Amino acid sequence: MGEENVKKEEKTELQTRLERNQKGMRELEKKLNNYKKAIESGVDISLVIEPINALKTEKENLEGTNRELKARLENQPSPEAVRFSKTAYDNFSGMIRTVINSGSVDNLRAFLQRFIQKILVYPDRISIIYLPTLHRWFQRPGF
The residue ranges of every structural domain in the chain are 3-78, 84-138
Quick count: other Cβ atoms within 10 Å of Cβ 119? 12
Could you give the CA distance from residue 74 to residue 2 in angstroms, rounded to a whole number? 15
- pLDDT, tens only, 33-80: 999 999 999 999 898 999 999 999 999 999 998 888 888 777 765 554
**Does residue 1 register a pLDDT over 50?**
no
Could you give the CA distance from residue 80 to residue 98 in angstroms, rounded to a whole number? 28
Q: Roughly what angle, to the nearest 10 degrees, separates helices 105-115 and 86-102?
A: 150
pLDDT at 51: 92
Could you give the CA distance from residue 70 to residue 120 in angstroms, rounded to a whole number? 21
Position 139 confidence tier, pLDDT thresholds 50, 70, 90: low
Backbone torsion region of residue 142, taken as left when φ is above 0, otherwise alpha when ψ lies between -120 and 50, otherwise beta = left
Beta bridge partners of 30: none
